[in-house]
Structure formats: C-alpha cells, structure tokens
Amino acid sequence: MKIVLLGPPGAGKGTQAKSISNKYSIPHISTGDIFRYNITQMTPLGIEAKKYMDKGQLVPDDLTIDLIKDRLTQEDCKNGYLLDGYPRTVAQAESLKNALEANNEKLDCALLIDVPREFILDRMTGRRVCPSCGASYHIKYNPPKNGVNCDECGNEVIQRADDTASTVNNRLDVYEKQTSPLVEYYKGENQLLVVDGTQSINDVFKQICEKIEAI
Ligand code: AP5
Ligand code: MG
Ligand code: ZN
C-alpha cells in the first residue's frame, strides 16, 4: 500500500502515521523527521535545511525530491510506504507520480486530515516530541505517561524549534499557499480521501482505517 498523508501543520499526520504504519506494516517516511535527524547530525543537508525550517519555509524542491527518490528505492519500501509531509508542492507531487509511473505503479490514496486553522495553534504550542524516535505528544491531549519521558523509548520529550507562535503562523501561511493546492490535485487524480481531524486521536484513526479498507 502506498499512502500520502496530507494536512496542515498540527493536523496529526505524525500522530496517525505511527498507528497506520504499525497496523498496515508499511514504513513511515517523514521528510520533516529526516531533516531534523540531519540537523542533529549537522550533515550538509541538515545545515542547509535548518535555514528554511527555522523560518517555517519549505526546504527547496531539488533537495527534497532527491532525498525522497533515494529513500523510496530502499528495500523496506518494496511493499509500500506511508509518506508524511511529502509531497508538499505540486512539483513534488508530479515528481512522485512520474517515479511511480516509471514502474507501472500508482498511489493507493492521498489522505487529507482536515483541521481548520483555529485548532492548530493550541496543538502546536502544546506539542512535545521525542528527539530520538520522533513520537509526538501533547501536554493536554496526549501527554507521555510520566509527563516527561517518551513512552516508546524513554528519552526526555522536548519542544520543537519551529513550534513557536510566530513560526507556526508562517508555516500555516506556507501551507495554504504552497501545499493546499495538492488537495485539488489529488481530487483530480481520483485519489483523495478526507477525514475529520478535529475528532479525538482514536476516532481519527478509526475514520482512517475505514477509508483505507474501503478502497
Ligand atoms: P513537518 O515535520 O512535516 O511539519 P508539519 O507539516 O508542519 O507538520 P507537523 O509535524 O508540525 O504536524 P503533524 O501533522 O505531524 O501533527 P502531529 O501529529 O505532530 O515539517 C517541518 C518542516 O520541514 C517544514 O516547515 C519544512 O521546512 C520542512 N519540510 C518537511 N517536508 C518538506 C517537504 N516535502 N518539502 C519542503 N520542506 C519540507 O500533532 C500535532 C499536535 O497535536 C501534537 O501535540 C499531537 O499530540 C496533537 N494531536 C494530534 N492529533 C490530535 C487530535 N486528534 N486531537 C488533539 N490533539 C491532537
Ligand atoms: Mg509531523
Ligand atoms: Zn521516543
């Protein structure tokens, strides 16, 4: 199964991706997580990406497209994958489509987690993430069991560098301008599925499974 997760910052893509990836045994590939890992390792890619991410802007297409092309050829992707945060521009979507078509393949769906803007700031400023495994928590809606350490791996959870109110607003503007056209794009490809992302984490997951299983 090949799935693209769409949705604004804070929609719950990372949160749902963990559960989808476990249930359907497909790797969760998050371009944001890959960039953040490269930042902690201070690789040339990380140093370049950080300049954009700190401002809430998109990392340029050429860097991102090459990164994903390479990742999708790895062994664990041969039975499918779940893309979280990619594609984010029409150019990225076209590149993905061309790469798939070259192998006579196509996406199973692009799943939009629909959350209106007024919900987002509260979700982002309350978010805590595990710097080691990428798990996402929320101080009110989904706190780690002991309040400070990741349930999965025990590392202390932290606030993401780009989760300040001003950067979040900028990321939302960037989403509306550069990424939201993908909703129409995937509608046109007959691949769009939409779930209501304002429900509880468990209820959103239920909707997602129902949609996927009805394909
Ligand atoms: P990325 O890491 O992809 O960030 P994003 O798209 O801004 O999305 P988030 O990770 O912030 O939100 P999410 O939807 O995963 O929400 P989460 O599950 O954590 O990208 C970061 C940056 O990297 C970009 O700005 C860009 O610079 C660069 N980048 C990445 N990909 C790129 C690309 N393809 N091209 C160019 N640049 C790229 O949930 C949020 C919070 O809400 C959590 O606290 C969670 O616990 C809580 N929550 C989740 N669901 C619910 C619910 N149902 N009810 C209540 N709370 C909930
Ligand atoms: Mg995420
Ligand atoms: Zn962890």
pLDDT value at position 173? 97
Which residue minimizes the CA distance to atom 54 of ligand 1?
Answer: 200
Q: Percent of the chain having pLDDT more than 70?
A: 100
Is 128 annotated to bind a ligand? Reply is no
Q: Using the 8-state DSSP alphabet, how is residue 149 labeled?
A: B
**Using one digit for the tens of pLDDT, what is the confidence trace for 131-153?**
998 899 999 999 999 999 999 99
**Using one digit for the tens of pLDDT, what is the confidence trace for 14-49?**
999 999 999 999 999 999 999 999 999 999 999 999
- Mean pLDDT within 116-126: 94
Q: Which ligand is nearest to the CA of 36?
A: 1
pLDDT value at position 50? 97
Task: Band the pLDDT of 1: cuts 50, 70, 90.
Answer: very high
pLDDT value at position 44? 97
- The closest-lying atom of ligand 1 relative to the alpha carbon of residue 30 is 3
Q: Using the 8-state DSSP alphabet, how is residue 155 labeled?
A: P
- The closest-lying atom of ligand 1 relative to the alpha carbon of residue 115 is 53
pLDDT value at position 115? 98
pLDDT value at position 116? 96
Task: Band the pLDDT of 183: cuts 50, 70, 90.
Answer: very high
37 lines ligand 1 (CB under 6 A): no
pLDDT value at position 192? 98
**Using one digit for the tens of pLDDT, what is the confidence trace for 71-116?**
999 999 999 999 999 999 999 999 999 999 999 999 999 999 999 9
193 lines ligand 1 (CB under 6 A): no
pLDDT value at position 180? 98
Among residues 169, 154, 146, the alpha carbon closest in space to that of 56 is found at: 169
Residue type, 167: T
Output the six-digit token pair for 126: 């309350």
What's the CA gap between 95 and 99, in Å, rounded?
Answer: 6
Is 188 annotated to bind a ligand? Reply is no
Q: 15, 38, 45: which to mutate for ligand 1, most atoms within 8 A of CB?
A: 15
Output the six-digit token pair for 164: 């300040």
Residue 88 has phi, psi (to 5 degrees) of -130, 0
Tell me the domains of the chain and their CATH numbers.
2-26+79-213 (3.40.50.300)
Residues facing residue 121 across a β-bridge: none
